[in-house]
A and B are shown apart, each in its own frame.
Chain A
Amino acid sequence: MDLRKLKHFSVLIALLFLFSHLLYAQTKTITGRVTDAAGLGLPRATVTVKGTKVATVTDAEGRYTISVPANANSIVISSVGYGQQEMSVGVQEKINVTLQATASNLNEVVVIGYGTQRRRDVTGAITKVGSEKITSIPAPSFEAALQGKAAGVQVTQGSGLAGSGSVVRVRGIASISAGGDPLYVVDGIPIIQDNFLRSNSGGMNQNPLAAINPNDIESIEILKDAGATGIYGSRGANGVILITTKRGKSGKPSFNYNNKIGFATYTSKPKFLSGAEWLQARQEAWINDGNTGYAPLPSGITWADAQNTNTDWWNLVTQTGFINEHALSMNMGGKKLKTYAGLNYGNNESYIKGNAYARFSARLNMDYQFLPNLKASLTAGWNRGDNKRVPAAWAGGVGDALSYALPIYPVYKKDGSYWTGGANPVRRLNETKWRNIDNRYLAGLTFEYMPIKDLILRAAGSLDYLNSTDMQFESQNWLNRTDIPGIAKANPIWGTNKVFTGTAQYNYSLNEGHKFNFLGGVEVQENVINEYNGEIYANTDKPFWEQMNLYHDSIDHFKTHPASRPNFAERERDHWTFNSFFGRINYNLFNKFFFQLQARYDGSSKFGPNYKHGFFPSGSAAWILSEEDFIKDLQFINFLKLRGSYGIVGNANIPSGSYYYRYNVGGSPYNGNPTLYPENIGNPNLRWEELRNFDFGLEFALSKSRLTGELSYYNKTTVDQLINAGIMPSSGYADAYRNLDGGKIINNGIELSLNAKIVDKPDWKWSVGGNISKNYNEVKSLGALSADAIGGGTNDTRIIVGYPVGTNYVARFYGVDPDDGLPIWLDKDGKLTKTFSLDHRVAVGSVIPDYLGGLNSSVSYKGVELSTLFTYVIGGNIYDGAAKRQAGVVTDWNIRRDNLDHWRAPGDGAKYPRLTMTTSMYDGLSSEWQYNSTLFLYDASFLRMRELTLSYSLHKDAINKLKIKGARVFVTGMNLLTFTKYPGGDPEIARDFENAQDRNMSPNVSYLTPPQQKSVVFGVNVTF
């Protein structure tokens, strides 16, 4: 007899037994509490008298009271996601039970907009990433650590520069000129996240998120569908990333110290011709062009000097970076007061000389229970990001080492002074200094009051204050001046972002089967970013950061001496407001069906007078199939949930007041008379762009929850795209903000994440997990605009009907004519031609990959654990925008080594055409800048070992001896291995962007972008 039959048999026996004794039944009352392994009360656990229909459900604290027939033998306690437990009923009147979780994450608390939910009850698409996964690698900024950890979330780290930001895309991209990044919300406050506070100065978009200390983060929830982001209304279209910082937990005071110490280098070194080879190529091009004698050399270098010089600029401007991070935190929680405090210092040098990001932070989060029904919570963090900047990419420095700094250029002249005839990145490195210091305070105070049972009122005020000071210094030598000792410059930007949120939440149960949760709220946000209307400077021999007095004195001087700086003043750079009302109704039907309706009504200073407010409704539902009898019988299914959502959300990520016709009073007169200037063309109809978002998902836990996962499908349609492009320049303007009439862009896709515990024994554990997602992106309509109307900066990406957002739009290179070495092209119709033309440009590639995701695995034996994370991208293209000069026309740029495979004599089968210095030698080519073609378009697929960690957690005995609570030592490698077909270096590229539109369209386009960092760190993590 198998086990199941035995079970049925015993139930039958029990029923018979019960029936025969029914007439004599008496009852008694049992009370108790059901808790989870952590000792927390489990609400809504079912307590059933075995063999009867008598049952009850635990309350919010896990307590229950049940009347049990006197003759009952036992009670059964169960809760979804937990193992079932049977307790025999004897004389005792109190039975406390601890249930062990089965599908481990089903009961975890998930942070949602303006609240929390049990994972099993969630009706939206939300991925949670825990703290340990955020701090596992020395990523330059916390969001970079999300790479490969959440299905449907593409994280492309910018570059190997210290503090570099990432382009994060949640389920594709549909925004054009408005920011396509998700909304970042830290502890309830949508924070200042503008990547363009410093434009792209120095070849990097200064990343305001980098200052946030990853060690402070308890969890990151990524809200993906309208069921999740709908409550954020006009700002939910590109997903929402909720960051929750650590809070005090119940328990005696405990401390944690952890550190990381290690080294950083580059993932790949670009390979260029030596000085002699470069000269040879130059001369070959000169002769090819029909000239005689020696080719003229750039920057006045003579052949004799050039032949005696071979400078390796890359080596001169790079180093092995040192990584040094320390974090100390404290946790304590009593009956009334719970506290988390953290201190952090870290300094991460990149592999570029002079480049580092130092982070200091302090955090104090406290919760105080004044009364049983009144609680106050303080959330306070100070983060200081000190970025030692270096110019890169087009701005020079390490970018020059890849372009204008030729190996035939010397560092020094014969007299020992710097050579200044052309690019000299060593001189730049030594004679200029640059530092960007961000001080960021994030603080909030929340009161939570329960005037009556089931009604919770919350009032929260939050403040996000950012003070960012960019300071540069140019020495006397750099300026080539003797009249001043050097110039210190500074450009401070400071902003205050205030949020007030008031919510009322009411729980209402019609009866056990019908539970409602009502939420209503109001939110007001005001964000002001300020700056000075001119640069702060002083003639001095040291940077401002070494003499902050001079910095403050200079500001005071300019303010009080209008003669020296007319009109010098502070000014608002951006000032926007939101005024919102929102509501949510959750309906839990029989603990099996969950329905959610939510809506937000947003007004904003970003919207024109004709569309001041927008309404954004969404609805979602979930059905827990595993509660149904026909699934309950299937033993291998522990949990099965279907969920779906549909909603309308918006994107409002544009500068405030773009709809005004703006005029400037001129700063200086014209011939002594006042001046007035127009700035733009206004548009009173400016509003949000609109996303219609459908999501359908399946969540499951199988085989004793050893295999868990989630499968999702989504379909998103975006209309009314915000664009700031596509007008005729003969209007007098290059751009004007408006909503694209008739625009339609779709994103649909599938995401799968799986986690399997293959070996799960006390000593031996082996787990494997991963996710994969496919996003299909297509521009369905662009209204009246044509292919060239919307471009991604200088990156030759376009938005074209029938293709994805960010389509590579270049001519097709067919090959090299073996007879004359000239390039052969395909024209628009696919016919061969030897005449280049921009009319031959077609959609040939996409910056958006077909598939992306991550694979992780962890093996542990006792305290030793080896874990790894691979991230991958399949499909899509990389375009190397610098190759047209590195491996194209011979100009005053470095030449890539793979260009050696060029045509030299009739009959040669070569990859690259004959060398030339004259663009017109390649018939039809107007300039080397236009030499864009599929010759420099590459497959973007890669597989990268993002993380490899070997760790050892001290054995309990050792811990007891040392009188500590836990200790772990580890060594972690980041980006140790990369598998790619891309010849230009590292395949993970998000170059510096000119604006949001460029950022939306041009990740995966490289332009002298410094390759990613590779690092190894050692560390300890001790709790005591």
Chain B
Amino acid sequence: MLVAAISFTGCKKFLEKPPQGKLQEDEALVDEASLQAFLNGTFNTQATEIYNGRLWFINDLMSDEVNGVLYTEDNGEIYNRRTSIFGAFKNDTYTRIYQNIYRANKVLEKLSLASGNKNKIEGEAKFIRGLMHFEAVRMWAQPWGFSADNSHLGVPVRTAPNIDVIDRSTVKQVYDFVVADLQAAEQLLPDAPVLGYPSKWSAKAVLAKVYFQQNNFAKAFDYANQVISSNKFAMDNMQTKRFSLSDSKEIIYGFKNTQSVLEPGSELRDRYRSDGTNFSPNNDFKVTDQFFNLATQPGDQRAAWYTTINGYHPITKYNANQFNVSIIHLTEIKLIRAESGAELGSANLAIAIGDINDILSRAYAGTSMNLPANASAADVIRVTRIQRELELIGEGNRLQEIKRITARTNASPDRRGASAFCPGLVLQFPQGEHSGNTNFIMNIEGGCN
């Protein structure tokens, strides 16, 4: 009996029971292939947990396009632009964004394992890290331009995979970090676009977006122009293709649907879908009557993106069981070049007019609504902003436009009447940031509506 006991326990392994079916770190990240698999998992998570519609829905709830009647719980809190330190929907989104950053940092920490594909691996990691910090700083901090030198507080910049206690960086520091990561990615990533992975053009497109968000029109124009001029992408003949299974030529960065393996856009179908019994006015996205009227003008092909149920106006853009999801597409880049070109004026204005007319002629199935070749810069900007709203409905666009235009003009364009830079347009951090770091300065809440 004692012998049995000793032989049973003598084995040191008896006290080591690694959870079955799991790998330990020294078994998991061992070579280049494992780093690539790790990045694949990160893209998958980005597709299914952040860009599945979740981040856009938070944006859209805070916009002035949404009709907030009947929203309660987390939706009501976000709609009312008064998020608190609680609210799992928002807080989980934050953690998921930073989980992506953690993984990018893990890859960079283990980069020495990479060999032949080292550039691609490093480029993907930096693309993810830059993009995610950009999403975070847009949501959890006052916009670029809120303070003259952008020394107002941004978000934590995480450069290593650990649980270290860190403070918020300034908005300038965050944007500098984002630009540095994306510019590195631009150099490292491959030239050929593959749906589901970033290419150098994805990095450039995001850089165009970042600079546009900063109202840095020269840089935004430059990057948008590089993407458009690459001729790697082309306008679809129908806007609906961007969220379909047909082969959209517009997608610069996005996620590919693989039936019953990866079906991106789950929250888009859950929160925006309006066919069958999918729409519930209590919980789902619906636009205001005002926006509905704007968006359903006679002749506008995009009017088909709206429907009316029990007097509410949900959208139809995502009425399908499966589709590819476009995160950044050529239409948006053309809109950036259009507005940036108009802002820059001179030779660029003509390019801008060309861009916006491409969009208008597609939307109205003809040139009837096109701008004249001698349109003023102000007209181009005005029309581009409207077309941006109409094209990008349900894509989490408008809130960031409210912020950007406020910074540009020092006046809020918000149709809900919020004052410029009202605190509630910025999401509150999860309580864990403060409770895990008592020096962490939280955002001011509410004060918008």
The verdict on B288 contacting chain A, using a C-beta distance below 8 Å, is: no
Q: How far is the CB of B21 from chain A (nearest CB, A)?
A: 5
Please report which residues of chain B, range 121-180, place their CB below 8 angstroms from some CB of chain A when the two chains form the complex.
155-156, 158, 161-166
Please report which residues of chain A, range 779-818, place their CB below 8 angstroms from some CB of chain B when the two chains form the complex.
784-791
A676-B28, A892-B282 known; A728 vs B84 contact (CB < 8 Å): no
Contact check: which of A576, A660, A675 meets B22 at CB < 8 Å? A660
In the assembled complex, which residues on chain A have CB atoms less than 8 Å from the CB atom of B37? 665-666, 673-676
The verdict on A762 contacting chain B, using a C-beta distance below 8 Å, is: no
New contact pairs (5) apart from A732-B103, A789-B436, A790-B435, CB-CB < 8 Å? A522-B9, A662-B23, A663-B24, A670-B43, A671-B43
Chain A, residues 505-532, CB within 8 Å of chain B (1/0): the string is 0000000000000000010101000000
Please report which residues of chain A, range 532-582, place their CB below 8 angstroms from some CB of chain B when the two chains form the complex.
533, 571-572, 575-577, 579
The verdict on B99 contacting chain A, using a C-beta distance below 8 Å, is: yes
In the assembled complex, which residues on chain A have CB atoms less than 8 Å from the CB atom of B18? 657, 660, 662
Q: How far is the CB of B205 from chain A (nearest CB, A)?
A: 19
Question: Contact: A679 with B22, CB < 8 Å?
Answer: yes
- Interchain CA distance A786-B436 in the complex, whole Å: 7
Question: Contact: A927 with B74, CB < 8 Å?
Answer: yes
Question: Contact: A676 with B436, CB < 8 Å?
Answer: no
In the assembled complex, which residues on chain A have CB atoms less than 8 Å from the CB atom of B194? 671
In the assembled complex, which residues on chain A have CB atoms less than 8 Å from the CB atom of B344? none
In the assembled complex, which residues on chain A have CB atoms less than 8 Å from the CB atom of B234? none
The verdict on A729 contacting chain B, using a C-beta distance below 8 Å, is: yes
- Interchain CA distance A1017-B231 in the complex, whole Å: 83
Contact check: which of A459, A656, A681, A728 meets B1 at CB < 8 Å? A459
Q: How large is the interface on A (under 10, 10 to 19, 20 to 34, 35 or more residues)?
A: 35 or more
The verdict on B77 contacting chain A, using a C-beta distance below 8 Å, is: yes
Closest to B156 in A: A730
A522-B9, A572-B20, A669-B261 known; A728 vs B433 contact (CB < 8 Å): yes
- Interchain CA distance A726-B43 in the complex, whole Å: 27
Question: Contact: B2 with A930, CB < 8 Å?
Answer: no
- Interchain CA distance A734-B91 in the complex, whole Å: 10
The verdict on A891 contacting chain B, using a C-beta distance below 8 Å, is: yes
Please report which residues of chain B, range 66-89, place their CB below 8 angstroms from some CB of chain A when the two chains form the complex.
69-70, 72-74, 76-77, 80, 82-87
Of the candidate stretches B181-189, B355-363, B370-378, B437-445, the one touching chain A is B437-445
The verdict on A929 contacting chain B, using a C-beta distance below 8 Å, is: yes
In the assembled complex, which residues on chain A have CB atoms less than 8 Å from the CB atom of B100? 732
Q: How far is the CB of B108 from chain A (nearest CB, A)?
A: 14
- Interchain CA distance A579-B432 in the complex, whole Å: 37
A-B contact pairs, 9 of them (CB 8 A): A299-B282, A605-B17, A664-B21, A671-B256, A678-B38, A731-B163, A789-B432, A789-B435, A891-B72
The verdict on B348 contacting chain A, using a C-beta distance below 8 Å, is: no
The verdict on B229 contacting chain A, using a C-beta distance below 8 Å, is: no
In the assembled complex, which residues on chain A have CB atoms less than 8 Å from the CB atom of B192? none
Contact check: which of B77, B103, B162, B258 meets A927 at CB < 8 Å? B77
Question: Contact: B155 with A786, CB < 8 Å?
Answer: no
A663-B25, A732-B101, A786-B435 known; A674 vs B40 contact (CB < 8 Å): yes
Question: Contact: A670 with B102, CB < 8 Å?
Answer: no
Q: How far is the CB of A299 from chain B (nearest CB, A)?
A: 7
Question: Contact: A730 with B19, CB < 8 Å?
Answer: no
Contact check: which of B29, B34, B436 meets A726 at CB < 8 Å? B436
Number of cross-chain contacts by CB at 8 Å: 248
The verdict on B197 contacting chain A, using a C-beta distance below 8 Å, is: yes
- Interchain CA distance A837-B428 in the complex, whole Å: 13
Closest to B14 in A: A577
Chain A CB within 10 A, most for which of B99, B103, B158: B99
Closest to A581 in B: B9
The verdict on A907 contacting chain B, using a C-beta distance below 8 Å, is: no
The verdict on B310 contacting chain A, using a C-beta distance below 8 Å, is: yes
Chain B, residues 31-75, CB within 8 Å of chain A (1/0): the string is 001101110110111000000000000000000000001101110
The verdict on A331 contacting chain B, using a C-beta distance below 8 Å, is: no
Please report which residues of chain A, range 632-683, place their CB below 8 angstroms from some CB of chain B when the two chains form the complex.
656-657, 660-666, 668-679, 681-682
In the assembled complex, which residues on chain A have CB atoms less than 8 Å from the CB atom of B77? 919, 926-927, 929-930
Q: How far is the CB of B324 from chain A (nearest CB, A)?
A: 11
Question: Contact: B16 with A605, CB < 8 Å?
Answer: yes
- Interchain CA distance A575-B16 in the complex, whole Å: 10
- Interchain CA distance A947-B38 in the complex, whole Å: 60
Question: Contact: A926 with B197, CB < 8 Å?
Answer: no
Contact check: which of A296, A575, A784, A837 meets B20 at CB < 8 Å? A575
A524-B8, A671-B256 known; A677 vs B41 contact (CB < 8 Å): yes
Q: How far is the CB of A75 from chain B (nearest CB, A)?
A: 45
Contact check: which of A679, A787, A927 meets B84 at CB < 8 Å? A927
In the assembled complex, which residues on chain B have CB atoms less than 8 Å from the CB atom of A533? 21
Contact check: which of B15, B23, B432 meets A605 at CB < 8 Å? B15
- Interchain CA distance A677-B155 in the complex, whole Å: 25
The verdict on B281 contacting chain A, using a C-beta distance below 8 Å, is: yes
Question: Contact: A668 with B261, CB < 8 Å?
Answer: yes
The verdict on B430 contacting chain A, using a C-beta distance below 8 Å, is: yes
In the assembled complex, which residues on chain B have CB atoms less than 8 Å from the CB atom of A788? 85, 431-432, 434-435
The verdict on A830 contacting chain B, using a C-beta distance below 8 Å, is: no
A502-B5, A926-B80 known; A670 vs B41 contact (CB < 8 Å): yes
- Interchain CA distance A500-B6 in the complex, whole Å: 11
Question: Contact: A930 with B435, CB < 8 Å?
Answer: no
Q: How far is the CB of A133 from chain B (nearest CB, A)?
A: 37
- Interchain CA distance A924-B70 in the complex, whole Å: 19
The verdict on B321 contacting chain A, using a C-beta distance below 8 Å, is: no
- Interchain CA distance A533-B161 in the complex, whole Å: 29
Please report which residues of chain A, range 928-964, place their CB below 8 angstroms from some CB of chain B when the two chains form the complex.
928-930
Question: Contact: A502 with B436, CB < 8 Å?
Answer: no
Question: Contact: A665 with B15, CB < 8 Å?
Answer: no
